[in-house]
Amino acid sequence: MKSIWKWTLTPDSVIGMPSGSQVLTVQEQHGEPQLWALVDPTTPTKKLRRFRVYGTGFSMPDNPGEYIGTFQEHGGALVFHVFECEV
Instruction: Tell me the domain boundaries of the chain.
Output: 3-85
pLDDT higher than threshold 90 for residue 15: yes
Tell me the pLDDT band of 13, cut-offs 50, 70 and 90. Answer: very high
pTM: predicted TM-score of the whole model, two decimal places: 0.93
- Residues 29-86 have pLDDT tens digits of 999 999 999 999 999 899 999 999 999 999 999 999 999 999 999 999 999 999 999 9
Tell me the pLDDT band of 12, cut-offs 50, 70 and 90. Answer: very high
Report whether 61 contacts 50 (CB < 8 A). no
CA dist., res. 21 & res. 47, Å (int): 9
